[in-house]
A and B are shown apart, each in its own frame.
Chain A
């Protein structure tokens, strides 16, 4: 069964600290993996996308890694800011069907305290 599991479910850190969010998936055949940021009451916004051949991708203070062999990804946030408080969602695309499916994780709720 194709699934996307994220951990931790929630995380609280102090402003300025770093943190790492995890994503494990069983989606096959794999096409790409995205990390989305969803602010409270808003729609998700894409942060990074990685294909099978890419193992790291940065977007400012956000760095995503991908290990396609172990089917694991992480999102590292450096020097956190209050505006980083949001839900971070891991989304994996397959490439096997005509539709092309997206599989969503439940997200990690990050809270940054001053």
Chain B
């Protein structure tokens, strides 16, 4: 079982609210990622970080923002939630970048977000 945690697990909010999805890991991994996953669809990378003070946008355009002030913590923020943001958000971490032999990504349990 991976030591990566996400809170909340489920969130239902109204349009226009600001929300922060929390993600923390205790494995000391430098690399962390946020994915968005809709039912029956592949995971889409929306943000990633190489380490503290490093954040990059992923492949899928997202209105969310992230920060990496501490190695173990990688929160995702939506300033003004909309129904189109309804989805499952998965956080992951890895020891190395993809392509390396130790690039296994360890995933958190996810946050199911519903915006009404």
Contacts and interface: CB of A to CB of B under 8 A. Distances in A.
A102 B2 CA distance: 19
A104 B41 CA distance: 9
A7 interface: no
Which secondary structure characterizes the binding site on chain B? loop
Interface residues of B, number: 25
Interface of A: 4, 9, 31-32, 34, 41-46, 49, 51, 89, 93-102, 104-107, 109
14 contacts: A32-B101, A43-B90, A43-B108, A43-B110, A44-B90, A45-B107, A51-B101, A89-B43, A93-B98, A94-B99, A97-B99, A100-B99, A100-B100, A107-B42
Interface of B: 2, 4, 40-43, 45, 48, 90-92, 97-101, 103-110, 112
